């Protein structure tokens, strides 16, 4: 059986922590920032941990060799 390919888009958007959780960047931080509240922009800084159900899907379908 050939190796499965990791989705290139997922490589750029997600990182795995040492314990196997999935980190992602927050949304709504790219453009039209003058129209968004300061609280929203502040909370969109940095990264966050995906919820368990979403993380399982990401690891199964997009990062097949990261799900160890």
Closest by Cα among 53, 44, 43 to 22 = 53
* The model's pTM: 0.80
Q: How confident is the model at residue 40 (pLDDT cuts 50, 70, 90)?
A: very high
Q: Which residue has the tokens 């196997």?
A: 20
State which residues form the domain around 61: 1-19+42-68
Say which DSSP state 20 is in. S
Domain-located, residue 59: yes
Q: Examine residue 6 and state whether it is found in any structural domain, yes or no.
A: yes
User: What's the structural domain count of the chain?
Assistant: 1
What is the reported pLDDT for 1?
86
The pLDDT assigned to 12 comes to 93
Please, which pLDDT band fits residue 7 given cuts at 50, 70 and 90?
A: very high
Q: Is residue 63 part of a domain?
A: yes
Residue 48 belongs to some domain of the structure: yes
Rounded Cα gap, residues 19 and 54, in angstroms: 16
Average pLDDT over the chain reads 92
- Residue 67, in any domain of the structure: yes
Q: Band of the pLDDT at 67, cuts 50, 70, 90?
A: low
Q: 9: which 2 tokens? A: 């888009």
pLDDT at 51 over 60: yes
């Amino acid at each position: 059986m050939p190796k499965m390919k990791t989705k290139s888009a997922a490589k750029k958007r997600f990182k795995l922590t040492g314990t196997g959780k999935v980190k992602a960047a927050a949304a709504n931080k790219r453009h039209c920032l003058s129209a968004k509240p300061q609280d929203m922009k502040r909370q969109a800084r940095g990264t966050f941990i995906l919820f368990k159900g979403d993380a399982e899907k990401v690891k199964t379908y997009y990062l097949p060799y990261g799900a160890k």
